[in-house]
Chains A and B, each alone.
Chain A
Amino acid sequence: MAVGAEIESNLVFELQNEYSDSVATAFVRQYQKFVFALAYRQLQDYDDADDATQETFIRALKSISSFKGDSSLQTWLYRITVNVCHTARRKKKLRSFFSFGNEEFEKEQSNVMLPDQQVENTEFTTRFFKLLEQLPDKQRETFCLRYFDELSYEEISEMLGTSVGGLKANYFQATKKLAILLKETNLLRGENEEELQ
């Protein structure tokens, strides 16, 4: 969700001038869901997204003094996250070259101890994001930033470098395509019950 300008400027001021662990924690908590969701959309893997989220915040906190306020803090974080994810994808490619599939085995193991509800939620989320993957990149990002993160078109325009008019067109197309894709799956409420009857 978009953060108010006043809250954001206070946060930046505190991070740059009155840095403390509690200020850093407040900063991370404010943006962690936004960064994680973005990282997951980019990497399609929860563990990788988790690592990328941490890396993003570490980079951001280490270089907060260089933040000039030319863009919003959220836009700045968006760019760092995209860069971190880009590096993570390259690292993963390199690791898979060396590991010969051991990594996949470790990932399967890591889901074993989750509670049932959490597993269901995770499965639903995975399937939903797989649907989103079928949209073109710009349409998917526009949809997620507007629908889930509730950002204004101006903020999204700053992040994606697309005009507001272009974003509206992307949002409309993404919504239409997603509606078609959702109808083809049983991700919608009541679809499972109808199938059982």
Chain B
Amino acid sequence: MNKNDLELQIPDYVFGRMSLAERIEFERAVESFPEIKQEIEELKNVFMKLDTTPISNTIEAKTRNTSVRVHDLLSESKQGIHSTWWRLSVLTTAVATVVLFLMPVLKNNLPIFGGNKSDSLTTVLVKPNENEEQFDLQHLVSIEQSISKVDDEVATLLAEHELQKLDEDFQSVEGVFDSVQESTKEFDINDRELIEELENEINSL
């Protein structure tokens, strides 16, 4: 056995995870490497002082009722409280949030909403005047309302302890928020090129 092989076996030796034969062979091989012997002594000194009983006790205490709780949760899920209404309400809220976020832009750019085409996307977002402040205020109010709505929904959902279904809905809400955050970020940096590109696309429509 070379020095590197011996080093890799040090933890198993120190923590008593070797068979008698392995132990004897290891001890014989280590005789030629005093620095490894010293390292072993140092590790032994530290780890013999480490009392892991509190860790075992903590884990024991924390898992004492796990089987009962799992049983209860399984029974609940078997009873099958099919509440699709709240799943729909979360999705509806997510869609409403996106619409609220985009409303100021759509209002000013699409004729269907009575928007003025000359008041383009670029001017709405970049023009540093009263319009911008108004836009920001409307934008913030709509964000706050959306967050408040979604927050209420999430609180209700959490109270119902339907974690399995929540997972799916959280993923979809998270996806929507990620895209909204992404688009907000894009607006914040006033990327003229991107805005112009969007404007052209809207105009071409």
On A, residues with C-beta under 8 Å from B are: 21, 24-25, 28-29, 32-33, 36-37, 40, 46, 49-51, 53-55, 57-58, 61, 87, 90-91, 94-95, 97-99, 118, 120-122, 124-125, 128, 146-148, 150, 165, 168-169, 171-172, 175-176, 179, 182-183, 187-191
Cα distance, A124 to B54, chains bound together (Å): 7
Q: Mark B39-72, 1 if CB is under 8 A from A, else 0.
A: 1001100110111101101111111001101110
Q: Is the CB of B43 within 8 A of A189?
A: no
Query: How far does the alpha carbon of A32 sit from the alpha carbon of B61 in the complex, in Å?
Result: 11
Q: Contact residues of B with A, CB < 8 Å? A: 7-12, 14-15, 17, 39, 42-43, 46-47, 49-52, 54-55, 57-63, 66-67, 69-71, 73-74, 77, 147, 150-151, 154, 158, 163-164, 166-167, 170-171, 173-174, 177
Taking the closest CB of chain A, its distance from the CB of B44, in whole angstroms, is 10
In the complex, what residues of B have CB within 8 A of residue A61's CB?
70, 74
- Which 8 residue pairs are nearest across A and B when measured between Cβ atoms? A188-B49, A121-B54, A168-B8, A124-B54, A28-B67, A125-B58, A32-B63, A179-B46
Asked if residues A58 and B67 are in contact (CB atoms below 8 Å), the reply is no
Cross-chain contact A36 with B14 (CB below 8 angstroms):
no
CB of B42 within 8 A of CB of A125, answer no
- A contacts with B: majority SS: helix
Instruction: Give the residue name and chain of the B residue nearest to A50 (CB).
Output: B62
Is A172 within 8 A of B52, CB to CB?
no
Complex: A122 Cα to B73 Cα, angstroms: 26
Nearest-neighbour CB distance to chain B for A196, whole angstroms, equals 16
What is the bound-complex CA distance between A33 and B116, given in angstroms?
A: 65
Closest B residue to A150 by beta carbon equals: B17
In contact, A98 and B151 (Cβ under 8 angstroms): yes
A contact residues around B66 at 8 Å (CB)? 28-29, 32, 36, 50, 53-54, 57
Question: Are B70 and A188 in contact (CB-based, < 8 A)?
Answer: no
Tell me whether A24 and B10 are in contact (CB under 8 A).
no
Q: Is the CB of A53 within 8 A of B63?
A: yes
- Which among A49, A146, A168, A187 is the interface contact of B62 at CB below 8 angstroms? A49
Q: Which residue of B lies closest to A187 (CB)?
A: B50
Q: A147-B15, A172-B7, A172-B11 are in contact. Are A58 and B70 (CB under 8 A)?
A: yes
Which residues of B are found within 8 Å of A55, using beta-carbon distances? 163
Which B residues touch A191, using CB under 8 A? 49
Q: In the bound complex, what is the Cα–Cα distance between A176 and B191 (angstroms)?
A: 51
Return 8 A-B CB contacts under 8 Å, by A number. A25-B67, A28-B66, A36-B66, A121-B54, A125-B58, A175-B14, A176-B39, A188-B49
